[in-house]
Amino acid sequence: MNLKGKKVTLHDMCLRDGMHAKRHQISLDEMVNIATAMDEAGIPLIEVTHGDGLGGASVNYGFPAHTDEEYLDAVIPKMKNAKVSALQLPGIGTLDHLRMAKDLGVSTIRVATHCTEADVSEQHIGMSAKMGMDTVGFLMMAHMVSAEKVLEQAKLMESYGANCIYCTDSAGYMLPDEVTEKLGLLRAELNPETEIGFHGHHNLAMGIANSLSAIEAGATRIDGSVAGLGAGAGNTPLEVFVAVLNRMGVETGVDLYKISDVAEDLVVPLMDQPIRIDRDALTLGYAGVYSSFLLFAKRAEAKYGVQARDILAELGRRGTVGGQEDMIEDLALTMAKEQGLI
Could you give the CA distance from residue 136 to residue 333 in angstroms, rounded to a whole number? 38
- Which CB atom, from 122 or from 255, has the smaller least distance to another protein? 122
| Shortest Å, Cβ 59 to another protein | 4
| Shortest Å, Cβ 60 to another protein | 5
Contact footprint for another protein (CB under 8 A): 58-60, 90-92, 94-95, 114, 116-117, 119-120, 122-123, 318-321, 323-324, 326-327, 329-330, 333-334
- Which CB atom, from 36 or from 320, has the smaller least distance to another protein? 320
| Shortest Å, Cβ 186 to another protein | 20
- Which CB atom, from 94 or from 220, has the smaller least distance to another protein? 94
Could you give the CA distance from residue 96 to residue 279 in angstroms, rounded to a whole number? 40
| Shortest Å, Cβ 333 to another protein | 4
| Segment (H or E) for 168 | strand 164-168
Contact by Cβ (8 Å): 126, 150: no
- Which CB atom, from 37 or from 112, has the smaller least distance to another protein? 112
Burial classification of residue 123, based on how many CB atoms lie within 10 Å of its CB (0-12 exposed, 13-18 middle, 19 or more buried): middle
Could you give the CA distance from residue 228 to residue 257 in angstroms, rounded to a whole number? 16
Could you give the CA distance from residue 106 to residue 48 in angstroms, rounded to a whole number? 9
149 φ, ψ to 5°? -65, -40
Q: Is 20 a catalytic residue?
A: yes
Contact by Cβ (8 Å): 294, 230: no
- Which CB atom, from 254 or from 315, has the smaller least distance to another protein? 315
| Shortest Å, Cβ 279 to another protein | 25
For the chain, state the CA radius of gyration.
Answer: 19
Residue 45 CA: distances (Å) to CA of 9, 88, 109, 121: 8, 16, 11, 22
Q: Which of 11, 20, 66, 114 is catalytic?
A: 20
Catalytic residue ranges: 20
